[in-house]
Amino acid sequence: MWKQVSQLAGYGLKVESIKGKGYRLERPLYLLDELRLRNALKERWGERVREFNVLKSVGSTNAELLESSKDLPVGLYDILLAERQTAGRGRRGRVWVSPFAQNIYMSVAVRLSGGFSVLNGLSLAIGAAVADAIKTVCGIQVSLKWPNDVWYSEKKLAGLLLEVQGEQEGPVHVIIGLGVNVLMEREAGQAIDQPWTALSESCDVRVDRDQLCVALADSVLACLESYKAEGFAGLRELWDEYDLLKGRNVMVMSGDKCWSGEYLGVSDEGYALVRGEDGCLRSLAGGEITVRPVS
């Protein structure tokens, strides 16, 4: 018994000792149902989802899937979920806080033809797909902060990290990592260095993580199918529905430079369009700058 209790504690779960009765978890635990998820995705996508797995713990779902999907053919997808990440990563090398069985940590692997140029706007398209899935399942009006953060009530709810390998002109191997705060408690998120929220704080009913996982995977795969046919231009209207900053004054930070302007939206290529205080319209690429609302 003590071995099992120690294992639960190793996952960060709080176990109480009840005199004369044994042990119990401080809070209920709802694990992802791998069979339920697999069957739901198979019904929708059939053999196009080549591999689907749910792990109890992993360093990073992106790193794990990047290695295991190296032989993934064009046209198929691999999907990996985990209950916990011990080395979860966000954009710009930030740590992604990943407590056990509280959130969703998902990575999707795809191989795209056309070289690196085909990736323009992909992260924005996926962000719109994630926002749309959350709104559909949870019934809340989320928004997108360029390039791909999902916000609710001016706080970060979900984020993406895309990692790419391949040749300049040949097929590119893309890993799409997404994290959604579902049940995360304030104590678990103390290390997060920006305002954040979780669906448990935002929704009137308890969110079924299985249902949300299926909706997210389905929305991301459908987005990828559309993206392969039309690029970001075909998904720009969906992005515009969720654009948090359009028409607002923003602060643009790039390296050691900082300037203000009015955010006008995004181009068909996914670039942020910002008119500076000098009147010049600038087109900004993802990964080079950070855009935050001016407080």
Active site residues: 91, 156, 292
Which residues are CB-neighbours of 230 under 8 A, at least 6 positions away?
A: none
d(CA 179, CA 75): 24
Which residues are CB-neighbours of 115 under 8 A, at least 6 positions away?
A: 166, 167, 168, 169, 170, 171, 172
Q: Among 17, 13, 41, which Cα is nearest to 28's? A: 13
Give the other-Cβ count within 10 Å of 261's Cβ: 22
Give the angle 43-47-51 at the CA atoms, nearest 5°: 100
Question: Which residue carries 């855009």 as its tokens?
Answer: 291
